[in-house]
Chains A and B, each alone.
Chain A
Amino acid sequence: MKYFSKIYLVLIFGILYIPILTLILFSFNSANSTALFEGFSLRWYVELFNSPDTFEALRNTLILAVLSSLIATVIGTAAAEGIYKMRSKLLKGAITSVTNVPMMNPDIVTGMSMMLFFVAVAAILGVTYEDMGFFAMLIAHVTFCLPYVILSVLPRINELGDSLSEAALDLGCTPMQAFFKVKLPNIMPGVLSGMVMAFTMSLDDFVISYFVGSSNFQTLPLLIYSMTKKKVTPDMYALSTLIVVTIFILLIISNIKSGKKVDNSKKAGARK
């Protein structure tokens, strides 16, 4: 059984990683080919760094991801607190169902619906669709990030219950102070993980951006899409490699950090 487990893990993870590893390999190819490796070179990275398009797309993607995850975190955390306090089960259910729509719906439907919405808005405001480029994107990203924030904050609030805020009120806090000084610090892990999730969702989104976006606001996934429409050159591989490596490093750092936390709590437990 143990043997089987090991073989199975190696097999599945192997298949999962072969495409990514080939991609990394060919990003260092000296020839303009994604099938035949002819020698090691950094020429595709040089070419990538010389392309202004890439940098603009990278900048746009980061701005969009930071803004939309921040806005979604603020609105979503407040919403979670509000939903928690709601007494009417019906209203609670209605709001959570509507919130989850962008998560349950295929991206393509969400994208389509928002695009049609912005077409209508442009017509009403008397502007062209392109004029709204960035704002349309931002609104769309906040909308599909919101459920992830609420979903990661709400369980924390439920778990925490009322006793801490009541203690704070009892000790003289105003309701506002009770929330910011006592409740928020205690639900922080949920808020942070919601924000990280929102950030990566935004960073990674292609389908909705593809439908909502316009030509004057290019993000990395959109750039990759337009690059893969033509015959792909290894500079896209170089770009992908950089993204993969960045994510890998981030994951390892967060993993080591959370690992340390586990160790510490273990030690604290053992001392008892």
Chain B
Amino acid sequence: MKKKGSIMRSIAAAPHIFWAILFIVLPLIIVVYYAFTDGDGNFSFENITSLADYAPIFTLSVELAVIATFVCLIVGYPLAYIIAKARPERQRFYIMLLMLPMWTNLLIRTYSIMAILDDGGFLNTILGTTMHIVGTKGAVIFGMVYDFLPYMVLPIYTCISKIDKNMWEAASDLGCKPVQVMTRVIFPLSMSGIISGVTMVLVPSISTFYISQKLGGGTFELIGDTIERQFVTGALNTGAAISLVMMVLIIISLTVMNRFSDSDEGGIIV
């Protein structure tokens, strides 16, 4: 009787649980199934073992994504800090400015960068130069930073603006020089924001295919491109295998980062 009562309490969650099992869990199981079968449905490790061929692509994707995330952090942290310390009405304005590009479709944003940086593009036309930018690693990284910077700034901003105002005063009261206030107190306290910012930039950077298609000028292939190619050519088993590996890698790194921040201050990462 009591047990029934406790189930009834949460009955409102039932449609969602049903939905999640059917449309989240089941599709992931199907991915696993595809990853371990061949085209005829027979069990096979071949998809996974053949991934060794893609190792250079994995490495390149991780490299570019990590650099882009790092640049986002270096550029984004001061921005988040400046916004968080501005007057409240200014803060709202800056956050709006930051959100607007985010609400503009990613394809459009990426494409407009390409149109600017392209060999015969706006930048070269204005300057009268013939710089070759599109097709370099730098252009791809720039695209990632440009597209995902707001994802880094917003969680850090939220985190800094929630830090008790007394922390600044307490730190300088106890003898911190202005730089030490940042390094010893504020930076460690904004760690949870940094970690969720890093996650929110790293994940889409590592899996993007549009940015590399447009700004890579067809010179690079990243994991995202590979999955997309398998999808377009109908090689679903290999595509599923690559997706599975990528998912596992990301779950592992997120868990590690979560642990890291939990032990620090018990923040919840979104």
Contact = CB atoms under 8 A, between A and B. Distances in A.
Do they bind each other? yes
Interface of A: 5, 8-9, 12-13, 15-20, 22-23, 26, 34-36, 75-76, 78-79, 81-83, 85-88, 95, 98-99, 101-102, 104-109, 112-117, 119-120, 139-140, 142-143, 146, 150-151, 200, 204, 206, 211, 220-221, 224-225, 228, 232, 236-237, 240, 243-244, 247-248, 251-252, 255, 258-259, 262
Given A78-B15, A108-B224, A200 B103 contact: yes
B105 interface: yes
A79 B15 contact: yes
B164 to A, nearest CB: 19
Give the 3 A-B residue pairs with the shortest CB-CB distance, closest first: A82-B13, A79-B16, A106-B207
B240 A116 contact: yes
A82 B28 contact: no
Contact of A22 (B16, B89, B96, B115): B115
Interface string B75-106: 10011001000001100111011111101111
B116 interface: yes
B11 interface: yes
Contact of B103 (A22, A82, A113, A251): A251
A247 B24 contact: no
Contacts of A258: 92
B246 interface: yes
5 contacts: A82-B13, A83-B10, A112-B227, A143-B24, A204-B103
A105 B113 CA distance: 26
A78 B24 contact: no
A116 B224 contact: no
Given A15-B146, A115-B231, 6 more contacts: A8-B79, A8-B82, A13-B98, A78-B15, A112-B231, A150-B16
B181 interface: no
A228 to B, nearest CB: 5
Interface residues of B, number: 79
Nearest to B34: A116
Q: Which of B105, B203, B243 has the most CB of A within 10 A?
A: B105
Looking at chain B's contact residues, is the secondary structure mostly helix, strand, loop, or mixed? Answer: helix
Contacts of A88: 6
Contact of A87 (B9, B23, B246): B9
A221 B107 contact: yes
B94 A9 contact: yes
Contacts of A86: 9-10, 13
A8 to B, nearest CB: 6
Nearest to A1: B178
Contacts of B11: 82
Contacts of A19: 109, 112-113, 115-116, 146
B16 A146 contact: yes
Contacts of B112: 19-20, 22-23, 237, 240
B23 A143 contact: yes
Contact of B240 (A98, A112, A244): A112
B243 A120 contact: no
Contact of B13 (A26, A79, A139): A79
B145 to A, nearest CB: 9
Contact of B104 (A79, A104, A105, A247): A247
Contacts of A146: 16, 19-20
B174 interface: no
A106 B249 CA distance: 11
A35 B121 contact: yes
A107 B231 CA distance: 14
Nearest to B101: A16
Contacts of A240: 104-105, 108, 112
B239 interface: yes
A95 B100 CA distance: 32
Contact of A8 (B78, B93, B98): B78
B116 A18 contact: yes
Interface in B171-202: 199
Contacts of A12: 75, 79, 149
B193 to A, nearest CB: 16
A116 B13 contact: no
B9 A109 contact: no
A82 B94 contact: no
A16 B15 contact: no
Interface in B1-35: 6, 9-17, 19-21, 23-28, 30-31, 34
